[in-house]
A and B are shown apart, each in its own frame.
Chain A
Amino acid sequence: MIRLQDVHKSFGDTHVLRGVNLELTQGETLVILGRSGTGKSVTLKHIVGLMKPDSGHIFVDGIDVTSASNEQLQTVRQRVAYLFQTGALVNWLSVRDNVALPLAEQRKLSSAEIRERVEESLQSLSMLEAADRMPSQISGGMRKRAALARVLVAQPKAILYDEPTAGLDPVMARTVSHLIRDVQSSGDRMALVVTHDLELAFSVATRIGLHYKGELIELAPPDVFKQSKHPVIRAFLDGQSDLGEEGLNQ
């Protein structure tokens, strides 16, 4: 289980997270919507310990990430995988070597076992043909799939998806959202997706929340969220630029 408890984070004068609270349980896919630059990715980075909050706590299977030792942080990172917006593949390694990287670095499996798991992971995402290409030689969509293969090969308990459809054409975005849905339905793993893509959100989520002014508002199942009367949510779903601030002020 992943639990964020009253997490605050500021960068200089900008208060990005103002008491974020959320709980993610086994098998759940929680989507956090919000406009770009509102701190959605910052929330994800706190969960894997890439950032430390100014105050508050983050628990992953009972381990408090904010005060975790290096060994505990390693355990957290083996359980929770992070799919970066750009894929973040290592540029000087082939797709195959990139996918093998987490297993090779864990040094627990034999080369043959690693090869088998890598082939399996690449196969499941139809990436076997591009396995020996370098990241610079494949398209953006393929890079995302390769990155997802790298995430899946380590068999994590939870996956954090950072804007998985950003920068993709509508067809590829739909393919990626199907992939996420397939990945989620194939196991009992948790997923936390941050995005501003409504189509993706409503196709994969079991619960949706909106990140607004450093807080999460209205964490609810997709159909409830869609019917929400909250002015900010209504404005976001209707694509209004002022995000319902007039409604809030009234």
Chain B
Amino acid sequence: MATLKDTLEARGRDLRESVTNAGFTVSLLLQSLRLFFVDLRHRRRFILDQLAVCGISPLPVVCVVGLFTGMLLALQIGMELSRLGQSEAISNMIGLILFREMGPFMTAMILTASVGSAMAAELGTMRVSEEIDALECMSINTTSFLVMPRIVAMTIMTPLLTFIGCILGCVGGGLVANTQLSVSPAVYARNLLASLQAEPNQLGPLPEEIYTGLIKAAIFGALIATISCATGLKASGGAIGVGRAVRSAVVRCFLMLIIIGYYISWIFFR
């Protein structure tokens, strides 16, 4: 039977490992930021490759999830609003919910599951099959070669996918509003734009709500890529180790998305 000392020692080791991993992840992000300015010219090809990986493959899922999330929101909120005789206010709520919170979070979840997990698996496999050791032996900076292009690509593609997902969500919401709640498309669109322009033209041509959502999405993108790469790079122990790294990357991403997401919202909307 494990003694109290053994249990405390094990918890202590876990804590030390968690702190070490967190430190490694932060240092990877900072190094990548520095290397972006130093190595951008040499990494254009890898960044373009990663833009395709991060943007094109998850696009169909983002579109379908965006559309149905908007429809679901419209259905649930619409039923309550119609009871209060406020059906026309549905687009205000859908726009705000999608662009502020649901859009970035939903896209980040999809990207964690599809792209982040793949990044952790790819780098984990490279680690256990000694490919990363081989790169280090050739004096190749693995952060510049493997990590920075992925972080840059995710930081660019997450807001873009979020925007597409939100637009489709609004379209889906409009379909339900029109067919189930008899809200005309013109009223729906007018209220939607009005809700997104509470304080118009503060940041540029697009409504402020959209900017804040996209900034949040960009931060989420960087977060997913950094955590996934860091976890993959630390993989050990063959195929089981890679599987463990993927699971760990997805769990860490989900936790960080919800925690960091709250604080970003707190900064923007308090």
A binds B: yes
List, in ascending order, chain A residues with CB within 8 A of B137's CB: 48, 50, 77, 81-82
Asked if B14 lies at the interface with its beta carbon under 8 angstroms from chain A, I say no
Q: Are A101 and B140 in contact (CB under 8 A)?
A: yes
Give the residue name and chain of the A residue nearest to B134 (CB): A88
Give the residue name and chain of the A residue nearest to B137 (CB): A82
List, in ascending order, chain B residues with CB within 8 A of A85's CB: 130
How many angstroms from the CA of A81 to the CA of B137 in the assembled complex?
Answer: 7
List, in ascending order, chain A residues with CB within 8 A of B138's CB: 77, 81, 101-102, 105, 150, 154
A81 CB to closest chain B CB, in angstroms? Answer: 7
B47 CB to closest chain A CB, in angstroms? Answer: 14
Contact of A77 among B126, B139, B145 (CB under 8 A): B139
Q: Contacts A84-B130, A85-B130 given: A90-B135 contact, CB under 8 Å?
A: yes
Asked if B42 lies at the interface with its beta carbon under 8 angstroms from chain A, I say yes
List, in ascending order, chain B residues with CB within 8 A of A50's CB: 133, 136-137
Asked if A229 lies at the interface with its beta carbon under 8 angstroms from chain B, I say no
How many angstroms from the CA of A50 to the CA of B130 in the assembled complex?
Answer: 11
Question: Please, what's the 1-or-0 string for B118-153, where 1 marks a CB less than 8 Å from any CB in chain A?
Answer: 000000001001110111111110000100000000
List, in ascending order, chain A residues with CB within 8 A of B126's CB: 90-91
Chain A: how many interface residues by the 8 Å CB criterion? 23
Asked if A137 lies at the interface with its beta carbon under 8 angstroms from chain B, I say no
List, in ascending order, chain A residues with CB within 8 A of B139's CB: 73-74, 77-78, 102, 105-106
Question: Please, what's the 1-or-0 string for A146-163, where 1 marks a CB less than 8 Å from any CB in chain B?
Answer: 000010001000000000
How many angstroms from the CA of A249 to the CA of B129 in the assembled complex?
Answer: 39
Chain B: how many interface residues by the 8 Å CB criterion? 14
Q: Contacts A50-B136, A101-B138 given: A86-B129 contact, CB under 8 Å?
A: yes
How many angstroms from the CA of A82 to the CA of B130 in the assembled complex?
Answer: 11
List, in ascending order, chain B residues with CB within 8 A of A78's CB: 139
Contact of A88 among B42, B131, B145 (CB under 8 A): B131
Q: Are B134 and A84 in contact (CB under 8 A)?
A: yes
How many angstroms from the CA of A81 to the CA of B134 in the assembled complex?
Answer: 9
Q: Are B133 and A84 in contact (CB under 8 A)?
A: yes
List, in ascending order, chain A residues with CB within 8 A of B145's CB: 105
B137 CB to closest chain A CB, in angstroms? Answer: 4
Contact of A86 among B130, B136, B140 (CB under 8 A): B130
How many angstroms from the CA of A150 to the CA of B134 in the assembled complex?
Answer: 11
List, in ascending order, chain B residues with CB within 8 A of A90's CB: 126, 131, 134-135
Asked if A89 lies at the interface with its beta carbon under 8 angstroms from chain B, I say yes
Question: Please, what's the 1-or-0 string for A76-116, where 1 marks a CB less than 8 Å from any CB in chain B?
Answer: 01100110111011110000000001100111000000000
Q: Are A88 and B130 in contact (CB under 8 A)?
A: yes
List, in ascending order, chain A residues with CB within 8 A of B135's CB: 90
Q: Are B134 and A82 in contact (CB under 8 A)?
A: yes
Give the residue name and chain of the A residue nearest to B135 (CB): A90
* Most A CB within 10 A of own CB, among B130, B137, B139, B140: B137
How many angstroms from the CA of A56 to the CA of B149 in the assembled complex?
Answer: 38
Give the residue name and chain of the B residue nearest to A104 (CB): B42
List, in ascending order, chain A residues with CB within 8 A of B134's CB: 82, 84, 88-90
Question: Please, what's the 1-or-0 string for B148-181, where 1 marks a CB less than 8 Å from any CB in chain A?
Answer: 0000000000000000000000000000000000
How many angstroms from the CA of A143 to the CA of B129 in the assembled complex?
Answer: 13
Question: Please, what's the 1-or-0 string for B226-250, where 1 marks a CB less than 8 Å from any CB in chain A?
Answer: 0000000000000000000000000
Q: Are B136 and A91 in contact (CB under 8 A)?
A: no
Q: Contacts A101-B138, A102-B138 given: A89-B130 contact, CB under 8 Å?
A: no
With A74-B139, A89-B134, A102-B139 already in contact, 15 other A-B pairs whose C-beta atoms are closer than 8 Å = A45-B133, A48-B137, A73-B139, A77-B137, A77-B139, A82-B134, A86-B130, A90-B126, A90-B131, A90-B134, A90-B135, A101-B140, A102-B140, A150-B138, A154-B138
Q: Please provide the 6 A-B residue pairs with the shortest distance between their CB atoms, ordered closest to farther.
A: A88-B134, A82-B137, A102-B138, A88-B130, A74-B139, A77-B139
26 A-B pairs in the complex with CB atoms less than 8 angstroms apart: A50-B137, A77-B137, A77-B138, A77-B139, A81-B137, A81-B138, A82-B133, A82-B137, A84-B130, A86-B129, A86-B130, A88-B129, A88-B131, A88-B133, A88-B134, A90-B126, A90-B134, A91-B126, A91-B131, A101-B140, A102-B139, A105-B138, A105-B139, A105-B140, A105-B145, A154-B138
